[in-house]
Chain A
Amino acid sequence: MRGIFLPRKAYHANVLIWPRQFKVVQIVIVRTIFRRLVLSLFTLLLVSITIFIALDVLPGDVATRALGRFATEEQKAIYRNKMHLNSPVHERYMIWAANAVRGDFGYSLMSERSVTDIIAPKLRNTLILAMYAFVLHVPVTLILAILSATRRNTLTDNAISVAMLVGLSIPEFLLATLLLLLFAVKIPIFPTMSVLENVKSYGDQLRILALPTLTLAIVVSVYSVRMLRENLIEILSSDYIKVASLKGLTTWQVAWRHAVPNALQPTLNTTALNLAYLMGGVVVVERVFAYPGMGSQLVSGIQLLDIPVVEAIVLIVATVYILSNLVADLAGILLTPRLRTL
């Protein structure tokens, strides 16, 4: 991995003193970014091949699946011709991949509609849900992590730690069901199903999305609170924090102004993973609330063996994962001088 193109020396030492070396650093960064981009694209290519083999080649005859058991041989032959099923696997993959790059994932086996048309609104819904959950998880994470890091080993910290461990242990579908039981059945303030069709106002949308958002935000926060707490504890023990508190700043001022900005960078990775999780892990939560997103579509696609739809969704999820990891890596490189030589 290391140093295919790059020397292993650290260049950051006198970055700001000597302009010529500053240029060197820039070249190194550009090269690193370029290498990451190429590697990500390569991984994406491999992912697409894997998905194609796993879903299109392995589960047997596509024609029988699409037309049902009672189709005649002639019907199957016509179908195979139409869908290029007689060509060898690598040619079929080429056709599929070339179309996928242009945003054309073929036609659904069930409804004959274009997969892109089916998925686009679902992708939008999932993105809305993921965005709300992500926005909600940021303040929750910050408050809980700062609380437990500044009051380390007190009752507050232990309570938060145990709560996080329990939160880690409750599966999403159970958490969603419990929230449903509590806030939709016992105290009916939110709807049991998140159907978007009868949304009239923005308030309606918020109310409908409240429970799935809450579920996802809790699940995601659990990981980032643990991560941020560990980083904060490490930073809070350093000298400049002592200076800041000796200056007379309050604990929260110290934490907020001096510790959190430095603790955020290592959290980037977790944040990227969280974003990726929000794209894929919503499967179960969407199912519980009957929310018309990509997760629900994926599950019904697999149930109906609607392979083009499943392939498209898995490819999109994997792309988002690879992209968010790439962005986190690049942001990490740009934010910490030490990593620029990696």
Chain B
Amino acid sequence: MMQGALSVSKFQGRFLHKAWEYFLTLPASLLVGGLILIVYVMVAIFADQIASYTYNKVGVGLPFSQPSREHLLGTDQLGRDVFSRVVYGTRYVLVLSLSGTALGLVVGGLLGLICGYVGGLLDEVVMRISEVFISIPFIVLALVVIAAAGPELSGNPLLLIGVIAIVYAPRSARMARAVAMEVSARDFITVARLRGENSWSIALRELLPMTTGTLLVEFSVRAGYAPVLIGSLGFLGFGAKPPSPEWGLMISENRSAIIIAPWTVLGPGIALAFLVVGLNFCTEGIARVMGRSVQRAPV
């Protein structure tokens, strides 16, 4: 009895020790980025507890009042508490950017894997189409999609998720295709084919596990840019609609007051910048752990 308990705790101790040792080998960028991300996720989950006011409550203080104990980041032109709006904005931005990126990566990644493996006409067609989307810069493509969706859908969160997915899917597809083509030449794929597996099952069961590293890095690069895209669209007036607490929209709403009340712009701006810094630190860390280099391009 005694000995059993001892050995269990010994096992746990060894496991924890190993975990701790592994933890120590992780690059600093991943730890810093992870910490920042955890803080953001916590803020998003506990937004109701952290924020002292709801995001659209008007006149909780005098318009443009200075940061104080009651209003940590002051108030905006309608007397709304900027801190509470930033806190609720975390939820909005995190949910939209992560789900949009995930959707784009799943659709594009699967398509890319299949194309890279099967090749032929399907590959040619999909790659030509993805080239079309890639030749239009991020923000312009996003604006075109929003224009094509028509004014009725404007400001709809689902549309924003769709926009992010459409912008990211072709780029992810190319990435996945390149890896799939590289892996397809290996022996175990031939063996799987000889076993009689069909293309879908080879793509999902043989290729996908080999590409997780690349796709993970890809996901984190894309996720790092998604808040910027959402913010830029909000800033231009094509993303979230007022009174939504989206950060880009808040910056654009309060920009004219930047001289008398800089905190109304700096609050959401710093929140956005720190989130993206955290995501990018994570990317660097994940890439280092996976032993891959990060490919970044401005468009």
A interface residue numbers (CB < 8 A to B): 1, 42-44, 46-47, 50-51, 54-55, 58-60, 165-166, 168-174, 177-178, 180-181, 185, 219-220, 223, 226, 230, 270, 273-274, 276-277, 279-281, 283-284, 287, 298-299, 302-303, 305, 307, 310, 314, 317-318, 321-322, 325
Contact = CB atoms under 8 A, between A and B. Distances in A.
Main secondary structure of the interface of B (DSSP, over half): helix
Given A60-B150, A273-B297, A284 B273 contact: no
B145 A273 contact: no
Contacts of B238: 302
Contact of A174 (B131, B132, B135, B269): B269
Contacts of B284: 165
A277 B251 CA distance: 23
Interface in B97-142: 127-129, 131-133, 135-140
A58 B144 CA distance: 11
Given A276-B299, A321-B299, A177 B258 contact: yes
A42 B235 contact: no
A121 to B, nearest CB: 20
Among A46, A168, A174, A181, chain B packs the most CB atoms within 10 A around the CB of A174
A216 B128 CA distance: 30
Given A43-B128, A177-B255, A303-B237, A169 B277 contact: yes
A283 B272 CA distance: 19
A195 B143 CA distance: 24
A284 B235 contact: yes
Contact of A59 (B131, B147, B258, B265): B147
B144 A314 contact: yes
Contacts of B252: 173
Interface stretch (B2-10, B52-60, B204-212, B224-232): B224-232
Contacts of B139: 280-281, 283-284
B291 interface: no
B299 A280 contact: yes
Contacts of B276: 168-171
Given A284-B235, A299-B237, A310-B144, 20 more contacts: A43-B131, A47-B135, A55-B144, A58-B148, A165-B284, A166-B277, A169-B273, A169-B277, A174-B251, A177-B255, A177-B269, A180-B258, A181-B258, A185-B259, A270-B297, A273-B297, A274-B298, A279-B137, A305-B151, A318-B136
30 contacts: A46-B129, A54-B145, A55-B144, A55-B147, A58-B148, A59-B148, A169-B224, A169-B277, A171-B231, A171-B276, A173-B231, A174-B273, A177-B251, A185-B259, A273-B298, A274-B298, A277-B299, A280-B139, A281-B298, A283-B139, A284-B235, A298-B143, A302-B143, A302-B146, A302-B147, A303-B237, A317-B136, A317-B140, A321-B136, A321-B137
Contacts of B190: none
Nearest to B275: A169
Contacts of B150: 58-60
